[in-house]
Amino acid sequence: MSEKRIVITGMGAVTPIGIGREAFWDSLISGKSGIGPITAFDASKYPSRIAGEVRNFDPLQFLSKKEVRKNDRFVQFSIAAAKLAVEDAKLTIDDTNRYDVGVLIGSGIGGINTIEEQHKVLLQNGPDRMSPFFIPMLITNMASGVVSIVMGAKGPNTCVVTACATGCHAVGDAALMIKRGDAKIMLAGGTEAAVAPLAIGGFSAMKALSTRNDEPQKASRPFDKLRDGFVLAEGAGILVLEELEHALERKAVIYAEVAGYGMTADAYHITAPDPDGRGATDAMRKALSSAKLNPEDIAYINAHGTSTEINDKVETKAIKNVFKDHAYKLAVSSIKSMTGHVLGATGALELIATALTIKHNIIPPTINYEYPDPECDLDYVPNKAREQKVNVAMSNSFGFGGHNAVVVLKKFKEDE
Domain extents in the chain: 6-249, 261-410
d(CA 103, CA 92): 15
Mean pLDDT of 337-363: 98
Q: Check if the beta carbon of residue 189 is closer than 8 Å to that of residue 241.
A: no
d(CA 107, CA 210): 22
Q: Does the structure show a pLDDT above 80 at 136?
A: yes
What are the tens digits of pLDDT across the range 79-104? 999 999 999 999 999 999 999 999 99
Instruction: Please tell me which residue in 164, 169, 376, 403 is annotated as part of the active site.
Output: 164
Q: Which fold has domain 261-410?
A: Peroxisomal Thiolase; Chain A, domain 1 (3.40.47)
CB-CB contact of 182 with 156 (8 Å): yes
3 state DSSP class of 176: helix
Cα dist from 367 to 30, 164, 220, 304, whole Å: 10, 21, 8, 14
pLDDT tens digits, 96-132 = 999 999 999 999 999 999 999 999 999 999 999 999 9
The percentage of residues in the chain with a pLDDT greater than 70, rounded to a whole number, is 100
pLDDT above 70 for 262: yes
**What confidence tens digit (pLDDT) does each residue in 177-203 have?**
999 999 999 999 999 999 999 999 999
Whole-Å CA distances, 349 to 79, 236, 311, 329, 346 = 15, 7, 19, 25, 5
Average pLDDT, the chain: 97
Separation between Cα atoms, residue 97 and residue 189, nearest integer Å: 21
Q: Which of 159, 168, 169, 341 is catalytic?
A: 341
Angstrom distance (rounded) from CA 158 to CA 102? 9
CATH of the domain spanning 6-249:
3.40.47.10
Catalytic site residue from 169, 304, 376, 403: 304
How confident is the model at residue 108, as a pLDDT?
98
**Residue 410 φ/ψ, nearest 5 degrees:** -140, 160
27-59 pLDDT per residue, tens: 999 999 999 999 999 999 999 999 999 998 999
Helix (H, G, I), strand (E, B) or coil at 315: helix
- With 70 as the cut, is the pLDDT of residue 335 above it? yes
Q: Comparing C-alpha atoms, which of 191, 252, 237, 236 is closest to residue 6? A: 252
The answer to whether 136 and 157 are in contact (CB under 8 A) is: no
The residues with which 373 forms a beta bridge, in sequence order, are 376
Q: Where are the alpha helices (DSSP H) in 188-243?
A: 197-205
What pLDDT, on the 0 to 100 scale, is given for residue 2?
63
Q: Has 169 been annotated as catalytic?
A: no
Q: Note the pLDDT tens digit of each residue in 219-257.
A: 999 999 999 999 999 999 999 999 999 999 999 999 999
The reply to whether 6-249 and 261-410 are identical in fold is: yes
Whether the CB-CB separation of 239 and 352 falls below 8 Å is answered with yes
pLDDT for position 1: 41
Neighbours of 11 (CB within 10 A): 28
Q: Is 341 a catalytic residue?
A: yes
> Using 50, 70 and 90 to split pLDDT, how confident is the model at 414?
confident
> Can you tell me the distance from the alpha carbon of 175 to that of 243, in angstroms, rounded to the nearest whole number?
9
